[in-house]
């Protein structure tokens, strides 16, 4: 697939919006996560709109709410913003309680269209890969970085994975399931 200048524009916007943001546990620039999610979407057949949404999937939630959503819609169109909407668990400030947001997101995911499920699976796969890597480095201290702690985080990623499995097993969802299972094995007490 050939990308147009829209993809370059989205990459530039993502880099600008997330310039000062780092990943929760590491000092890795947040842009690395957005690039990884976009790469997974590309590798699993995503079109340009889906790849743009992957680059911008956290922009509304983390970098400006509805004003950023309107800018994304204006610049990249309704299709892109509808995918981002499906990946966003909160736009209001302050955000609702963590568990409430996550349960609502999972409920919406059950009926989400394929592009939302694709970007969500890519996002969660990259997140879980990073969690497993950081757990290997630092052990249990990792969980203090997550609002849900160990139990909530494990619950959330398993619930998202199971929801995606019920909507259809794809190679990406199968890889997410394997990676979540690995995370559970590494982190659950015996």
Residues known to be catalytic = 61-62
Exposed e or buried b per residue across 71-96, where buried means at least 16 C-beta atoms within 10 angstroms of its C-beta: bbbeebeebbbebbbbbbbbeeeeee
d(C-alpha 143, C-alpha 135), whole Å: 9
CA distance 50 to 83: 7
Report the alpha-carbon distance of residue 53 to residue 47 in Å, rounded. 10
Given a contact cutoff of 8 angstroms between Cβ atoms, the answer to whether 89 and 159 are in contact is no
Distance CA 55, CA 31 (A): 8
> Distance between CA 33 and CA 128 in Å, rounded?
11
3-state helix, strand, coil in the chain (%, to 5): 75, 0, 25
């Amino acid at each position: 697939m050939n990308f147009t200048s829209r993809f370059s524009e989205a990459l530039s916007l993502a880099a600008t919006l997330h310039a000062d943001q780092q990943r929760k546990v590491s000092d890795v620039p947040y842009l690395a996560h957005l690039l990884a999610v976009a790469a997974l979407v590309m590798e699993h057949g995503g079109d340009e709109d889906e790849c743009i949404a992957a680059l911008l999937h956290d922009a509304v939630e983390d970098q400006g709410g509805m004003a950023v959503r309107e800018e994304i819609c204006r610049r990249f169109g309704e299709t892109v913003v509808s995918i981002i909407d499906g990946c966003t668990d909160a736009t209001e400030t302050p955000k609702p309680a963590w568990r409430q947001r996550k349960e609502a997101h999972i409920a919406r995911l059950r009926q989400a269209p394929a592009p939302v499920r694709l970007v969500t699976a890519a996002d969660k796969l990259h997140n879980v890969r990073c969690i497993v890597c950081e757990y290997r480095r630092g052990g249990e201290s990792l969980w203090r970085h997550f609002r849900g702690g160990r139990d909530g985080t494990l619950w959330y990623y398993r619930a998202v994975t199971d929801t995606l499995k019920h909507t259809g097993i794809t190679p990406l969802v199968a890889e997410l399931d394997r990676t979540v299972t690995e995370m559970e094995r590494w982190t659950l007490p015996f």
